[in-house]
Amino acid sequence: MPGNLCVVAGALGVAGRAVLEELEPRRDCEIVALSRRKPDFPTRARFLAIDLTDLEQTRRALADVGRVTQVFFAAYAPRPSPVGEVAPNLGMLVNLVTAAEEISPGLRHVAIVQGSKWYGNHLGPYRTPAREDDPRHMPPNFYYDQQDWLEARQRGKAWSWSSWRPHGLCGLSVGSAMNQLNALALYATISRELALPLRFPGSPGAFRAIYQFTDARLLARAMIWAVDRPECANRAFNLTNGEFERWENLWPALAACFGMEPGPVQSISLARFMADKEPLWARIRERHGLKPYSLRDLVNWEFADWVYANAFDQMSSLGRIRRAGWNEVLDAEIMFRQLFDRMRAQRLIP
């Protein structure tokens, strides 16, 4: 990627941070990171705090950074309803791509992170294995609005796009609305502190259903790999670790990562049962010298409750990305061990 200037939007979210970290060692590119927050880790990226819903502010910011060659869009603005999510999330993409086009005749690629919500997994059971050309569900779904705009904008242009639909995305981040890795790690840490076994807090059906994971680093590598590949231009791709899993098979290994005994299913609302755990977490944090993040900073328990409640199979076909030449596979146990180790190294958990 010689002479590249890569812009990463949502650079401290689960996917954006992984893209940032994968670009970090590549000395053949400059990195501009867009985020409301500052990083709590060393990075050579230039961080800009801008409001992507403001076109003029976005134009001014990009005018100062130079000619953009690639945009990695992983920004997300959560709202209470699907209808409310459309305008801000579409607006951020429109403004960033519009500003990048205006100053960057050498723009080559725009990659956007979506997810299996594209297939309606937030609504209930859906067709599996899900394929990229499956019919859409009843809107609203801001992914659809972003995709339709991006396709229309690109027609006749020299740059290309790719869109990415991971499932069960796992990676390091602070302050993300959807981070199941942090939820699992902190639930296990608190359970261990209370001398409890690691019980699965969701539904019995979710414990047994087929599930899949995507390491955010693997997603990031695939997104970067696809930038200049003609077979990936202007296409959407499912992307996972490449294996199906069930929580019930994985659960003993997860408990072992924390030196705990695995427990049975005990269906609880984490949002309710963790509501009084801030003082306990503060004591754990102080005793182990962890970074000064509250549970609220690290975890959205409502999202975790949703993840652990879905009692139906969730499977994505990887046929399209395999045919394009991507063949990386990662075992879920290895992924979790590596990610928990990274969380410990960064003093997020003991």
pLDDT range class, residue 183, cuts 50, 70, 90: very high
* Secondary structure of residue 131 in the 3-state scheme: coil
Structural domain boundaries in the chain: 4-169+214-239, 170-212+244-314+330-345
323-346 average pLDDT score = 98
Res 1 pLDDT > 90: no
Q: How far apart are CA 116 and CA 315, in angstroms?
A: 9
Asked if 232 and 162 touch (Cβ cutoff 8 Å), the reply is yes
Res 188 pLDDT > 60: yes
Per-residue confidence (pLDDT) for residue 331, from 0 to 100: 97
pLDDT in tens, 206-241: 999 999 999 999 999 999 999 999 999 999 999 999
Res 308 pLDDT > 80: yes
pLDDT range class, residue 186, cuts 50, 70, 90: very high
313-318 average pLDDT score = 98
- CATH for 4-169+214-239 is 3.40.50.720
Per-residue confidence (pLDDT) for residue 66, from 0 to 100: 86
The percentage of residues in the chain with a pLDDT greater than 70, rounded to a whole number, is 99
148-171 average pLDDT score = 98
156-184 average pLDDT score = 97
pLDDT in tens, 22-61: 999 998 899 999 998 999 999 999 999 999 999 999 999 9
Q: Which residues of 220-248 are buried (b: 16+ CB within 10 A; e: fewer)?
A: bbbbbbbbeeeebbebbbbbbbbebbebb
- 14: tokens are 């689960």
Query: Burial level of 118, CB count in 10 A (0-12/13-18/19+)?
Result: buried
145-159 average pLDDT score = 98
pLDDT in tens, 237-250: 999 999 999 999 99
pLDDT in tens, 75-127: 999 999 999 999 999 999 999 999 999 999 999 999 999 999 999 999 999 99
Q: How far apart are CA 174 and CA 125, in angstroms?
A: 30
The strands making up 160-166's β-sheet, listed across from edge to edge, are 46-48, 29-34, 4-9, 70-73, 109-113, 160-166, 235-239
pLDDT range class, residue 3, cuts 50, 70, 90: confident
